[in-house]
Each structure stands twice: as C-alpha cells, then as structure tokens.
Chains A and B, each alone.
Chain A
Amino acid sequence: MKFKNRIFLILISSFFLSLLIFIFQSNAILSADNNNSLQKYNDNFDEYRKAYQEYIQSKNTYLTYKTLISQNEALDKTKKLLEIRDDVLISYYNLLKEKINQTEGITPFEQTLKGNTIDTRIKFLEDHKMTISPIASLDDIVNKSKEIDKISQEINIEADKTIGAILVGKVRNNSDFLYKDLLEIKQIISDIKSSGKDVTKLERWTLDINTKYQLAVSKLDEAKSLFESLSQNEIYKEKQDFAKAKKLTTEAHQYIKEANFNAKEIINEIKYGPY
C-alpha cells in the first residue's frame, strides 16, 4: 500500500472514531439531563442542610450574646433557611409532578387533577418565598415560617396521596396488561377446544389466573380508596393507613406476578401438551 493511502486510511478511521466518541458523549449528557428534577431536588436538599446548620449556629450565638450583630446574623441566616426550605418543597413537588406524568397506569384525568393541585402548591410556595427577603425582624421571620408550618401536615398528606396514586398506577398498568393476556389465552383455548381437544386442564388453570387477577384488582381498589381517604385529622392513623395501603399494593403486585407466571405455564402447556 502506498504511503498516501495509508495516511488516508488512518485519517478516515480516526474521523469515525472521534465521531463515535462524540455520539457516546452526547448520549451520556442526555441521560444525565433526564434526571434533572431529582438532581435539583437533591441539590436543594443539600443546600438546606448547610443553611440549617448555619441557622442553628447563628441562633445559639444570638441566644447567648443577644447583641445586635448576632441578631442581624440570625435574621439573615433564618431568611436564607426559609428561602431554601421553600426551594426544597418546590423541587420536591416538581419531582412528584414528573413522576405522576411518567406513570403509565394513572389516567390522564387523574394526572391533570394531581398536576393542578401541585401547581397551586408551587405557586403558593413561590409567592411565599418572594415575601421573605423584605422581612426586618426576628418576630416577623418566625411568623413567616409559621405560614408553612400551618400547612406542613396538609402538604405531607398531599404528597402521601400522590405517592399512593403513583404506586397504584404502576401496578394497575400491569394488571391491565394481564387482563388483555387473559382474554387472548381464553380465545386460544376456545380455538383448541373447537379442534376437538380436551382443554379441561387449561380452563382450570385459566380460572386460577382469573381468581388471582380479581384478587389483585380488589386489593388495588382497596389501596386506592385508602390512599385517597388519608386525612390530617389523626396523623398517627394517617401513617398507619398509608403503610396499610402500601402493603395492599405490594400484595396486588405479588398476585399479578404469580398470575403472569401461571400464564407463562399455560403457554408452555399449549406448546408442549397433547393439543
């Protein structure tokens, strides 16, 4: 091979290699951007932890010395803390909204409803954040914090309800798929039956899958109504109900898993049985 040709070949290979590096790099950056909401939430939470430490320190200094300088420092640090606390809640709500929109088993109506509730909360928190900066006294900043403290239980329960909707949605999506599979299996069995084969065993197995599907659906319905009925009146009961609803969702998931495995067994039986 001529020298010129060799050089040309090397250059062409390096060109494609660098192009590959570029494509790989772009994909890596793109996938990092997909986790943007979660990243922002984590970043805000890290900042909150730092701001909280600074607030505690400045509060202790103020309570010990009671000087004007320490008072001013405490005010500044508390203002910063409150602003970041609002940011954490805003990014948390954005994360919830993203999850709601990504979960396939949630109906568009429910997605819009939850999305609107979240948007209202975000607007409230943004407005609240804007009013923090002009505050000039410790009493006022404490009162400003109480505005969020008053609704903290409410937003906590709202978040639990949204998490519940996400969990139920995830499992519901799979139960819908299972239902469609069940219909197809029944159709295939009916075709085999019309060809004169004995399908008693297959029908019995299908009945088992159907029972598991029904159990899963009833557990999901129970979990959904429990998640939706969460109330702030009795916080201890709320946490208990949340745990109970979560358990019901897990049980429904387990039933669907078993039913799906049984469906696989039926397919194997049809493929390799006496039909």
Chain B
Amino acid sequence: MEEIENYIPEEEYPVKKEVKKIDSFTVIVVILLSIILFILIFSLISYFTSINRPKEKNENIKPTITIIKPSPTLVIKPSSWATDSAILKLEEKINSQGESLNSIDLNETVLTFPSLDFNINFEKK
C-alpha cells in the first residue's frame, strides 16, 4: 500500500541538469588570450606615454668623419705570423680603436654655456 502511495510517474522525475565539462584546450586558449591581451594593452600604454613626452629638440651636430682609405697593399703570401693569435687580437683591438677615434665628438656643442640674460633691470633704454 505504502509503495503505491509513494509512486511518482516516470515523466514527473526531477530532471538532472547536464553539466558540460570544459575541456583543457579551451582553458589554455582563454589563458593565452588573456596574457596576449594584457601584454598588448601594457605595450600600448607604455608606447603612448613615451610618445607624449616632449621630444629632444637639440640637434647634436656631429663632426664630419674622415675616412682614411688604406693604401693598396699587394698581398702575395701571408707570413707565418698571419695566423698568430696575438697579432689577430691586436689587429682587432686597433680596428675597434680606429672606429672609436672616428666617432669622437670634440665639439660638444650641447655643453656650450647657455646664453642667458643676467642683466635684469627696469630702466628705459
């Protein structure tokens, strides 16, 4: 008797909602997308803040670089010293010093004392 009273027809069973499982691919895609978005936004912000800074107006006049062309040498046969490590090292050093010597700015126009008016007065000329 009791069983008959508790009987519920099949159509009226409480329907269990189907929970869709998110697969790992979607999780990775979402994480990557958010990282890219973050980096791009950060880059954009830093770019715009940097271009809004007043630009340097000073024109740094550089001296004319004199390029000394090496005199033509007739190479017949390298000597036994041509591959010596000390020679090669020294040659490299001399070459880099040559470049540094050519790039020296001996005018330093930017360091010229600023032209300021120190004679402040309220007299008629």
Contacts and interface: CB of A to CB of B under 8 A. Distances in A.
A170 B58 contact: no
B82 interface: yes
A43 B90 contact: no
Contacts of A167: 106, 108
Interface stretch (A25-33, A111-119, A123-131, A227-235): A25-33
Contacts of A26: 46
Nearest to B25: A4
Interface residues of B, number: 60
Interface residues of A, number: 84
A88 B117 CA distance: 12
A148 B118 contact: yes
A274 B114 CA distance: 58
A63 B94 CA distance: 65
A38 B58 contact: yes
A40 B82 CA distance: 51
Contacts, number: 176
Interface string A114-145: 00000000000000000000000010011001
Interface string B55-97: 0111000000010101101011111111000110011011101
A156 B47 CA distance: 39
Given A160-B113, A178-B97, A268 B73 contact: yes
A62 B120 CA distance: 14
A270 to B, nearest CB: 5
Interface in A239-258: 246, 249-250, 253, 256-257
A12 B47 contact: no
Contact of A88 (B32, B94, B95, B116): B116
Contacts of B25: 4, 8
Nearest to A147: B118
A213 interface: no
B119 interface: yes
A11 to B, nearest CB: 5
Nearest to B116: A85
Given A11-B29, A246-B106, A272 B94 contact: no
A258 B58 CA distance: 32
Interface stretch (B1-9, B11-19, B35-43): B35-43
Contact of B106 (A55, A250, A264): A250
B114 A88 contact: yes
Given A52-B117, A261-B68, A8 B39 contact: no
Interface of B: 25, 28-29, 32-33, 35-36, 39-40, 42-43, 46-47, 50, 53-54, 56-58, 66, 68, 70-71, 73, 75-82, 86-87, 90-91, 93-95, 97-98, 100-102, 104, 106, 108, 110-114, 116-122, 124
Given A35-B56, A174-B101, A264-B98, 9 more contacts: A48-B116, A81-B120, A160-B113, A177-B97, A188-B90, A257-B68, A263-B94, A264-B70, A265-B70
11 contacts: A8-B29, A15-B32, A18-B39, A22-B43, A25-B43, A28-B50, A32-B50, A95-B110, A141-B120, A184-B90, A271-B79
Interface of A: 4, 7-8, 11-12, 14-15, 18-19, 21-22, 25-26, 28-29, 32, 35, 38-39, 42-43, 45-46, 48, 52, 55, 59, 62-63, 74, 78, 81-82, 85, 88-89, 92, 95-96, 99, 138, 141-142, 145, 148-149, 152, 155-156, 159-160, 162-163, 166-167, 170-171, 174, 177-178, 181, 184-185, 188, 192, 246, 249-250, 253, 256-257, 260-261, 263-265, 267-268, 270-275
Q: Please provide the 6 A-B residue pairs with the shortest distance between their CB atoms, ordered closest to farther.
A: A145-B120, A149-B118, A271-B82, A18-B39, A275-B79, A152-B118
